[in-house]
Amino acid sequence: MHFELKRKLRIYVSLFLSLLLLSAVAPRQQSAQQELGLVDKQNRARLHQALIDLTNPFTVLCVAAHPDDEDGSTLTVLRRKYGVHTVSLFSTYGEGGQNAVGPELYEELGVIRARETMAAAEVQGSEPHFLGLRDFGFSKTAEETFRAWGEKEALRRMVFQIRRLRPDAIITNHDTTTGHGHHQATGRLILQAFDAAADPKQFPEQLNQVGVWQAQRLFVRAPRREAQATAQVTQKQFTIDPNEADPFRETTYAQQALAALQKHATQGPWPKTVAAGGARIIRYNLVREATGVAALPDNAKTPIDGLRLPESISSAFHIPTIDNKPLTEFVDKKDEVLISLVNARKHGAFTASRDVMDLDPPRFQLMSSRLDAALAVAADVGITAETDEPVFVPGAPAKISAVLGNGGEVDVQIKRVDITAFGSEHRVATADKMLPETETTALYETTTPKTASLSVPSDAHLYDGQLFGQPVVARAELAVGDATFVITSQIQRDVAPPVQILSVDPPVYVSTPASSQKPLEFKVRLINRMAGEFKGLLRVLGSSLETGREIVLGAHSSDVFSLSVRQALPITRRIQSGSELGITVDLPNPKSPIDKRKVKLIYADALVAPELVVGYLPSFDQTLSRSLAALNVNAKELKVSDVASGDLSKFSTIVLDIRSYEAHPELLPVNDRLLKFVENGGTLLVFYHKTDEWNPDDRRQRPQLAPYPLTLSDDRVTQEDAPVWFLQPRHPLLNSPNRITQADFANWVQERGLYFPKEWDSHYAALLSTNDKGEPPLHGGLLVAPYGKGNYIYTSLVWYRQLRAGIPGGYRFFANMISYGNRKTEASRANDQ
Specify the residue, 65 or 227, whose C-beta has the smaller distance to Zn ion.
65
Q: Among residues 69, 95, 116, 135, which is the contact residue for Zn ion, using CB under 5 A? A: 69
Q: Which stretch binds Zn ion (CB under 5 A): 64-72, 524-532, 735-743, 793-801?
A: 64-72
Site string (19-58) toward Zn ion, x via CB under 5 A: ----------------------------------------
Q: What are phi and psi of 550, to 5 degrees?
A: -85, 145
Q: Which lies closer to Zn ion via its Cβ, residue 66 or residue 283?
A: 66
**Which helix (DSSP H) or strand (DSSP E) does residue 375 occupy?**
helix 361-379
Based on the shown chain and the rule CB under 5 A, indicate whether residue 70 belongs to the binding site for Zn ion: no
Cα 784 to Cα 184, 414, 664, 764, 802: the distances in Å are: 37, 74, 23, 5, 20
Tell me if 801 sits within 8 A of 692, measured CB to CB: no
* Of 21-29, 50-58, 60-68, 603-611: span binding Zn ion (CB under 5 A): 60-68
CB of 273 to Zn ion, least distance (A): 23
d(CA 421, CA 418): 10
Three-state secondary structure string covering 532-578: CCEEEEEEEEECCEEEEEEEEECCCCEEEEEEEECCCCCCCCCCCCC
Span 255-314, contacts to Zn ion by CB under 5 A: none
Least distance to Zn ion, CB of residue 268, Å: 14
Q: Which stretch binds Zn ion (CB under 5 A): 46-54, 66-74, 317-325, 708-716?
A: 66-74
Q: Kindly tell me which of 69 and 144 has the beta carbon lying closer to Zn ion.
A: 69
What is residue 366's three-state secondary structure? helix
Which of 66, 163 has the CB closer to Zn ion?
Answer: 66
Residue among 67 and 808 whose Cβ is closer to Zn ion? 67
Reported as type and span, the H/E element at residue 679 is: helix 671-679
> Which of 131/452 has CB closer to Zn ion?
131
Q: Which is nearer to Zn ion, 135 or 439 (CB)?
A: 135
Q: Which is nearer to Zn ion, 133 or 648 (CB)?
A: 133
β-pair partners for 321: 326
- Does 66 interact with Zn ion (rule: CB under 5 A)? yes
CB of 92 to Zn ion, least distance (A): 9
Smallest separation, CB 94 to Zn ion (Å): 7
Q: How many helices (H) and strands (E) does the chain have?
A: 21, 41
Q: Please say which residue, 112 or 609, places its beta carbon nearer to Zn ion.
A: 112
User: How wide is the angle at C-alpha 228 spanned by C-alphas 226 and 233, nearest 5°?
Assistant: 40
Instruction: Render 702-765 in DSSP notation, one character per residue.
Output: B---SSS-EEE-S-EE--TT--EEESSTT-GGGTSSS---GGGGTT--S-SEES-EEEE-TTSE
Secondary structure class of 653 (helix, strand, coil): strand
Among the listed ranges 68-76, 134-142, 430-438, 574-582, the one in contact with Zn ion (CB under 5 A) is 68-76
| Cα–Cα distance, 588 to 465 (Å, whole number) | 33
> Cβ distance 227 to 282 under 8 Å?
yes
Which of the ranges 62-70, 478-486, 497-505, 647-655 carries the binding residues for Zn ion, by CB under 5 A? Answer: 62-70
Cα 496 to Cα 263, 422, 527, 754: the distances in Å are 27, 14, 10, 38
For residue 63, the minimal CB distance to Zn ion (Å) is 12
State yes or no: residue 716 binds Zn ion (CB under 5 A).
no
Count the residues of the shown chain that bind Zn ion, applying the rule CB under 5 A.
3
Residue 252: CB atoms within 10 A of its CB come to 21
Can you tell me the distance from the alpha carbon of 770 to that of 753, in angstroms, rounded to the nearest whole number?
A: 9
Question: Least Å distance between CB 719 and Zn ion?
Answer: 19
User: In whole angstroms, what is the distance from residue 124 CA to residue 21 CA?
Assistant: 7
Site track 354-373 with Zn ion (rule: CB under 5 A), x = hit: --------------------
Non-local (6+) Cβ contacts of 361 within 8 A are none
- 94 vs 806, which CB is nearer to Zn ion? 94
Least gap, CB of 267 to Zn ion (angstroms)? 9
> Closest distance between Zn ion and the C-beta of residue 135, in Å?
9
Nearer to Zn ion, 91 or 489 (CB): 91
Contact stretch for Zn ion (CB under 5 A) within 61-69, 133-141, 327-335, 370-378 = 61-69
User: Closest approach of Cβ 687 to Zn ion, in Å?
Assistant: 23
Cα dihedral 211, 212, 213, 214 in deg (nearest 10): -160
**Nearer Cβ to Zn ion, position 92 or 440?**
92
Measured from the CB atom, is 66 or 221 closer to Zn ion? Answer: 66
**Measured from the CB of residue 317, what is the shortest distance to Zn ion in angstroms?**
37
Cβ(249)–Cβ(23) under 8 Å?
Answer: yes
* Three-state secondary structure call for residue 188: helix
Q: Name the residue number minimizing CB distance to Zn ion.
A: 66
Applying CB under 5 A, the span of 65-73, 211-219, 399-407, 428-436 interacting with Zn ion comes to: 65-73
Q: Which range, of 59-67, 102-110, 486-494, 523-531, touches Zn ion by CB under 5 A?
A: 59-67
Q: Taking the complex as a whole, how short is the minimal distance between the CB of residue 173 and Zn ion, in angstroms? A: 8
Query: In the bound complex, what is the minimum distance in angstroms from residue 215's beta carbon to Zn ion?
Result: 22
Strands (E), 216-320: 217-221, 237-240, 245-246, 251-252, 282-289
Residues at the contact surface with Zn ion, assessed by CB under 5 A: 65-66, 69
